[in-house]
Structure 1
Amino acid sequence: MKATTASKSRRRAVTVAALAAGAVLALSGCGAGQVSQTATQVAAVNGNSANVGSIALRDVRFLVPPTEEYNNAKGGKAVLAFSAVNLNDSKADELVAINSDLGQVKLAEKVEIKPSSTVVADKPTAKDAAQAAAVGQQNAGENPENKSADPAAKPILVEVTGLTKDITPGLTYPLTFVFKEGGTVVVNVPVDAGPNNPRQEPPKQGHKGGE
């Protein structure tokens, strides 16, 4: 009788241990799913990024939709947009050139990135031009010898002219950024998804029976 009771006790203990192990595995499965979903999330911005020296390039992309002036088609021209952040708090840097097999990259002006500051490249809007003109007039009034507009009042314009191929959404194109102090870095540049086509996170998958 005692042997039978001991045998039942052992079977009961084995059963409880098996159920506990199953619960741990189930919880681990849920946790693994959440980590996997987090790993597949993408940045909210449309462009690519890179670091070189003390410069952080962020949201590097070609702009869309194409216009009559910027058609992103072979033989035409496109606009490159990005933010260049100087993380050094005491030394300036300069964007010397951007090289690409797509065509000639034209910097509209000298691109100096002051310490702890950001230079933004984008297609200037009419509002940007008006603000730049107002700042220029103010500067001229305070100092007649300084008739140029404040470069911080508007983004710089970076054009790629004489395109050797179409710039197509969904593809990336390597561009080489050359900085005077920071050095050289290659960035694979995508085409901006545009405001009507933001990046979407993958759908979350629940667990059957206990989401």
Structure 2
Amino acid sequence: MKSLKSAARRGGIISAAALSALALASCSAGQITQTSTQVAAVNGAEGNSEDGTVAVRDVTIIVDDAGEAALKFTAINQDTSMTEHTLESIDVNGNDVQFDSTSLARDCVLVGDSADRLETTPQADGIGCIEYTETTLSNDDFAIGGNVPVTFTFDSGEIEVYATISGPQLPAGSFSREPGSESDYTNL
């Protein structure tokens, strides 16, 4: 027969261990981090209209080697009432984006990008409902890696997102950084 003292001690140890595990598991619950509201730059920003009828995805400002800027995005009409929607204007940090406005039927997509990038993008001709539009905007001394507000104005409302500014992407294998070369980091 075991004493009540050792059973109580064992029960106390188990309870203390369970409470410690619970306290450690909930230690960071509810904490707000500095990065909790930031959007990853990899896939661009995204947003939806307040009524959910239209959406934008992969919103990124592209700056090429010559300093020319364009806005890359995909706009989607997801209105369940089968209503066509029109992208009326796009504003990047107070500057208008130049593009060909078009109406989007239900489940149709509008892909915007620079002329050069659209030229190299495979086009989905005859597959689904996809439109392409060339975009340009004045380079307002955009800092690569920064974020600026972008406002899409549709006939059904506005969508505001913070888009990352991206530099040109080098073709794979086109840049080699050998130690001791002119492009070596340590020779700065």
TM range (shorter): 0.5 to 0.7
- C-alpha displacement at 1:110, in angstroms? 2.1
1:88 to 75, 79, 84: 79
Contact 1:80 1:160 in 2 (8 A): yes
SS in 2 for 1:169: coil
If asked which structure has higher relative contact order (CA below 8 Å, sep 6+), I would say 1
RMSD: 3.7
Contact 1:50 1:185 in 2 (8 A): yes
User: Which structure's CA Rg is the greater one?
Assistant: 1
Structure 2 residue runs without a partner (length 5+): 171-188
Contact 1:46 1:193 in 2 (8 A): no
2:110 — aligned with what? 119
2:22 — aligned with what? 28
Change beyond 3 A, Cα 1:192–1:19: farther
User: Structure 1 length normalisation: TM-score?
Assistant: 0.59
1:15 — aligned with what? 9
1:110 — aligned with what? 101
1:166 — aligned with what? 141
Aligned residues: 158
- C-alpha displacement at 1:27, in angstroms? 4.0
Which aligned segments of 4 or more residues in structure 1 are displaced greater than 6 angstroms? Answer: 33-36, 39-42, 193-196
Q: Does 1:60 align with 2:59?
A: yes
Change beyond 3 A, Cα 1:49–1:125: closer
- C-alpha displacement at 1:78, in angstroms? 0.8
Contact 1:169 1:193 in 2 (8 A): yes
- C-alpha displacement at 1:94, in angstroms? 0.5
User: Structure 2 length normalisation: TM-score?
Assistant: 0.65
What is the rounded CA distance, in whole Å, between the counterparts of 1:30 and 1:9 in structure 2?
A: 30
2:47 — aligned with what? 50
Structure 1 residue runs without a partner (length 5+): 72-76, 140-150, 197-211
Contact 2:145 2:166 in 1 (8 A): no
